[in-house]
Homo-oligomer: A and B are copies of this chain.
């Protein structure tokens, strides 16, 4: 097991409905040392990629993407989930359905921050059905930019998102892939990764 899988076993909590709570260290309270370690791991897995921007989606994605952007020495851009009065009209937009929150959002990125010259590393905390990720990918493609790779903290391997993204041919790196969870025993099984 890697450092994130070990931490999930130690502090993750399985809830009914295939909900994995990692809010004590990842997406409500954040262990900055762990985040920095994840940033270095993503930097290693995408080493040599000509990354010019790291793209994530608010809110918890920002904490995962921050150390990645530092390691690559590039700006972090986060997609916003609703149109703010502070955003220009000139936006890339995508419809995203949240598995967790059971709602739909329009995610937006200002056209000033993604261009055809950009090589984008997409980072997010969770991958389940992949809707959020597909929205980010479509925004990058709307910009004519290149998706250099996709880094995810926790992938739910028993849901469809990861297979879809890999079938689309993207380099998808998930630090932990949960194959199964049991909320009655609290057991969490991870996919073996080379």
Contact = CB atoms under 8 A, between A and B. Distances in A.
A110 B28 contact: yes
Given A58-B59, A100-B85, A78 B110 contact: no
A62 interface: yes
Contacts of A10: none
A36 interface: yes
Provide the main secondary structure of the chain A interface.
mixed
A2 interface: no
Interface residues of A, number: 40
A9 interface: no
A84 B62 contact: no
A1 to B, nearest CB: 23
Contacts of A76: 29-30, 32, 63
B32 A75 contact: yes
Interface stretch (A18-26, A130-138, A168-176): A18-26
Contacts of A78: 28, 30, 59-60, 63
Interface string A64-105: 001101100111111010101111000000000000111000
Interface string A4-48: 000000000001000101011000111110011000000000000
A58 B80 CA distance: 11
A113 interface: yes
Given A28-B110, A30-B78, A58-B58, A21 B63 contact: no
Given A58-B58, A63-B76, A66-B63, A29 B85 contact: no
Given A32-B66, A63-B78, 14 more contacts: A23-B86, A23-B110, A28-B87, A28-B113, A29-B76, A29-B113, A30-B69, A32-B69, A32-B76, A59-B80, A60-B78, A62-B63, A84-B100, A85-B101
